[in-house]
Structure 1
């Protein structure tokens, strides 16, 4: 590990299971609207672990050393000459994907679909597991005094959940079934509850996750049996008094059986949102989707207003992210933390940053 006098100590992935600590130059403010952030806390995401484990996610392949991390919060240490909304010392949640602002998706308001997106810790772009990181001011969200920097680091996965639930157009009184009780699935349950859903049911194959979900943000939980998707869906409907079926199904697992059960558990005219990423191709119950005239949507990262809403949900007390934080480790223990997350320990582990 580099010395404590390092200027910008960074946690760098060189190859599969090959990481190192490297001192890199402090990044420059290349645009007058940019700010420099001393990163204080970073959560470990499944995609970070996947790059560490496999060196690639789909078409995104780690060809050169890359700094990991993208779920972060920190403190502003320098601002560009045109920055007006932030000042040195402000505590911010960091949105880690910078859109080009010029392509058609960007100009139509769907910047998360930007064809030139520069997203942290997605090759070839470095992530936020470093002492310093730069962002445009409008991709930093000032945290109210009532919110901690640890909570700020969870605004990234919460924003993913906000986007998914907004894609589902969850409204008061609806019944929502969420497949997968990992961090994003749990947060989808919490957001659906905050949006007024009357029934929120978490589905998972691990009892400890269901136990946590039950006391966190659901009205009930469900563990599938080793039967057909139709049979699991029917039992889910009957056990939860869903009548003709659920209004909304959200998959946050990426598992093919969950996708099938999600389609079958919905009422006619229901809404299905795919948030979890699994295999690139799966079999799909197309007949049920068509005959029920379901609304099917994908969900990718987060878009306009999602981070702002996420901060508001936490600061107002409607969503509690503190309960998801299993523990915090020192920056120099980052590799061990990755190993523990890969082993399925805890829900959300944070890596503390390096003080200025």
Structure 2
């Protein structure tokens, strides 16, 4: 813990005065707007420094957001460990919710004081993906807290109004911050072209796999979930899985017993739709083996590791192998999904930390002791 505290340094810079000298302390004097705010900056490997920074001034078309909650994902952990294509220093955080403090002009669906979830992807608008309406795969994208643009581990942010999505009344800030990963899961499911009544296999019962399972079942798809961790398999049932398969990484999947169960479940054909939500190369091979002939495999898990399979695999089984990245403005729909399934959403967040303990939040994500789901950081301006 002492080592942890040393890494979470505190940079104290005196804020500029917010009142004219003659008005300071005068009874009834107006309170000037604050000029500085705190930010948690990852300045080097596993090193967070808390800094005092100027409050951002929104540009044309931007709103000022008071950040309430930031949830962390595997990408955030890799950046904190300096094992990602991001240059440090960087203020991290791309899964977040907040409250609108200022709007540039009246808006038909948003107002000051609204709680919002934020789409963190900023597309170039000029590449091929953007030209066909798939900004989620922009070749030159920026992402808050990941690529080029600093993120949400700060008290206030200036964000384009087009990236804001009002969340339903009663959806608390920590759950609203899950709209971004829920949107990723919904994008993956939509890419798979699901049909009500068909049978799908979801490989991986981490947050994205669980949210895929939740969305699939809400669409009338029957889901079996698989994972290498028994507790995660049990968790998947809470999200609608009708069955779970425990994978032993040392044994080819499916093993004879699992193959028999899967055959009975699918009428001998295998699942027509499979989602790979781990990023583990062997898991993609498992998906290709398990999927029915002429089925679809959606790869949403990401890693830099290479995968190898026979050139016969795709053509002989006539498989659609589909990639999925980010989401196409599904944040608002994700908010509705989470609002309808609030109990399940609440179970995803297993750990919460105050802003001043952001370094400990990252340490917890890296921990292999106990079950770690989503880790949330409550910002200073969060409603209690």
By the TM > 0.5 criterion, same fold?
yes
Q: Residues of 2 paired with 1:323 and 1:144: CA distance?
A: 19
1:56 aligns with 2:83: yes
CA distance in 2, matches of 1:128, 1:16: 19
Cα distance, 1:9–1:318 mapped onto 2, change above 3 Å:
closer
Partner of 2:293: 268
Deviation of the 1:227 alpha carbon: 2.4
Superposition pairs of residues 153-172 of structure 1, within 5 angstroms: 153-172=177-196
Q: CA deviation at 1:126?
A: 0.8
Q: 1:164, 1:156 → 2: CA distance?
A: 13
CA offset at residue 220 of structure 1?
1.0
Q: Name 1:325's counterpart in structure 2.
A: 349
Alpha-carbon distance, 1:4 to partner: 11
Give the CA deviation at 1:61: 3.3
- Deviation for aligned residue 1:330: 0.5
Query: What residue number does 2:48 align with?
Result: 19
Deviates more, 1:212-221 or 1:76-85: 76-85
CA distance in 2 between partners of 1:174 and 1:37 (Å): 42
Do the aligned residues in 2 keep the contact of 1:181 with 1:202 (CA within 8 Å)? yes
2:381 aligned partner: 355
| CA offset digits 1:39-74 (Å, max 9, x no partner) | 000101110001112x132xx232x41001111000
Larger Cα-atom Rg: 2
CA contact (8 A) 2:47 2:359 kept: no
2:18 paired residue number? none
Which one of the candidate residues 21, 29, 40 is aligned to 2:68? 40
**Residue 292 (structure 1) aligned to one of 317, 323, 330:** 317
Structure 1 residue 267: deviation in Å? Answer: 0.9
TM-score after normalising by structure 1: 0.91
Q: Which residue of 2 aligns with 1:283?
A: 308
Structure 1 residue 318, shift from structure 2 partner: 8.4
2:341, 2:86 → 1: CA distance?
39
Query: Could you tell which deviates more after superposition, 33-42 or 75-84?
Result: 75-84
1:111 maps to 2:135: yes
- Runs of 5+ unmatched residues, structure 1: none
Q: Is the 8 A contact 2:145 2:152 kept in 1?
A: yes
In the superposition, the TM-score normalised over structure 2's length comes to: 0.85
State the shift of 1:264 in Å.
1.0
Q: 1:267-306 CA distances to partner (integer Å, 9 max, x unpaired)?
A: 11111000001234211243232111011100111114x2
For residue 214 of structure 1, report the CA deviation from its aligned partner: 2.2
Greater Cα shift, 66-75 or 105-114: 105-114
